[in-house]
A and B are shown apart, each in its own frame.
Chain A
Amino acid sequence: MWSEKYRPNKLEAMVGNEDAREKLVSWLSKWKKGKSAILVGPPGTGKTTTVKLLARSGGLNLVELNASDVRTKSQMSRKLGEAMASSSLLGERTLIFLDEVDGLAGRADYGAVDFIREAVKESLNPIVMAANDPDSDEVAKLSRGALLVHFRPAPPREVELYLSMIASKEGLRGPNMREIVKEAKGDIRYAINALQAGKADRKDTEPTREAALNAFFDASDLRGRIGALRSYPGQPRDKVRDLMTSVLASGVAGEELVNSMKALSDADLLLGRMIRGGDWRLLRYLDAMLASGFGREPESGMRFSAGSVPWPLQLRIWNDSKKVREISGLAGRRLKESARKALVEDFPFMMAMARDERFRDELVQSLNLGEPLATFVTKEAKRK
């Protein structure tokens, strides 16, 4: 794969976010105990790659941890304790990287955020964190006193520059770079994959996003739905976002909405795992996962709807839906019923009853909800 072959191996070989990369190099060279850096920006903007190359350029070992996989203080302490404590016997230093710290939201955060804040104060090695959502509570808490560095998508001309370098090394002549660059929206990995696939040459025969998703909603069987999803001409996460926007805009309700959102949520988890682990082979399961969860009712009236939901709102819906599922899961266990039943039948009543402060306290206590979930219940209960 060209995306692997041409993965930057030095900090200077990347394109985009020049200011951010410079800031980080300068921060690391002057690093003192008690200081941390937090990188915020949408997925695919190079945060993880930058940290890896930063460690390499500074001759540091990298200890990497995905914060959303480690929920408790003790788990985190076990994984990071040694890296925080010292340099190696040979005097090698370590860079500690906590990815997706905003992933602690919506999960049972048993002291992990507090642990990270303490770790920053105590660690003898620099700690860098990364988050997708700049407005999350975790970023607000963890960025106090930290260097906050914003990552943004690379501008189109810089994406074209990188593609031209690859095209020249691969001996490609005159591929339709502009179309690829426009479609990539700053995602260089996508652009490289599209260049390798000769995607620009096939653009006339490909369906639009609208046609692909409408074919998906219209298909009457699983095979048809998978085929329609495979023909979607954009990136996997755009496919998931377009589907979510279409579902929300279509106004479906009840079990169909639950099924659709669950399929989208599962797809999101799979995408997250792929991005974190770089295991792109998992991509083959994405369409099947979406197709089997969606569209059991072809006459539901769902149609493609182009991004009418702003991304920050989508992100909120995404995060909140994780919290809703988590609370429903706990309630289901407590009530000895399935999480889905608890979600569809009990959750709305629980939230209505939680307007009463006493009931809310009992709910939080009996389900043993951590602070983020308890705050979420309070907010939901106040919503009319």
Chain B
Amino acid sequence: MKIVLGSWFSLPRLGTEAYASLIRSGAKYESGMGFMLPQDCDLSEAVRIIRKATGEGVQLAVRCVVCLKEACVSCPYDDVCDRSVVSPMCLCGVHSSGEGAYEGYVAAFLSSLSE
């Protein structure tokens, strides 16, 4: 199962205890939207709970600061990047390279500030 940090995702019924533990770890739940693992969530604990409750492996991914799509697709640092440790947004392949990539990143951050 792939979970993109900061994005809503759905889970099968977890049971009261697992649900409560997941919320205690900092995960959010909204009916109609599902679950979300926000920036201040205890990621390793949340992943452990989800893995135990669903019996599935959990793969974390982060979103692109510029386009908000998943950033981890074909990432050259896939083997060294621990997504439960690094800050929860990154850059996708399109927005991390080429001329003006840094300026694009700065502009995206500034626009998110003004929202």
Contact = CB atoms under 8 A, between A and B. Distances in A.
Interface of A: 12-13, 15-23, 25, 45, 148-158, 160-162, 164-165, 178, 181-182, 186
B113 A25 contact: yes
A22 B110 CA distance: 9
18 contacts: A12-B109, A12-B110, A16-B87, A19-B87, A20-B39, A25-B113, A152-B88, A153-B86, A153-B87, A155-B62, A156-B77, A156-B81, A157-B71, A158-B96, A160-B77, A161-B96, A161-B102, A178-B77
Contacts of B102: 161-162, 164-165
A18 B77 contact: no
A149 B77 CA distance: 26
Interface of A, secondary structure class, is helix
A181 B87 contact: no
B80 interface: yes
A156 B80 contact: yes
Given A17-B87, A186-B86, A12 B77 contact: no
Interface residues of B, number: 30
Contact of A161 (B81, B86, B91, B112): B91
Given A158-B90, A182-B77, 10 more contacts: A12-B106, A12-B109, A15-B105, A16-B87, A19-B88, A25-B113, A148-B40, A151-B87, A157-B75, A158-B96
B89 interface: yes
A154 B91 CA distance: 11
A186 B83 CA distance: 12
B101 interface: yes
A149 B105 contact: no
Interface string B48-92: 000000000000001001000001000111001101011111110
B39 A150 contact: yes
B2 to A, nearest CB: 17
Contacts of B39: 19-20, 23, 150
B89 A19 contact: yes
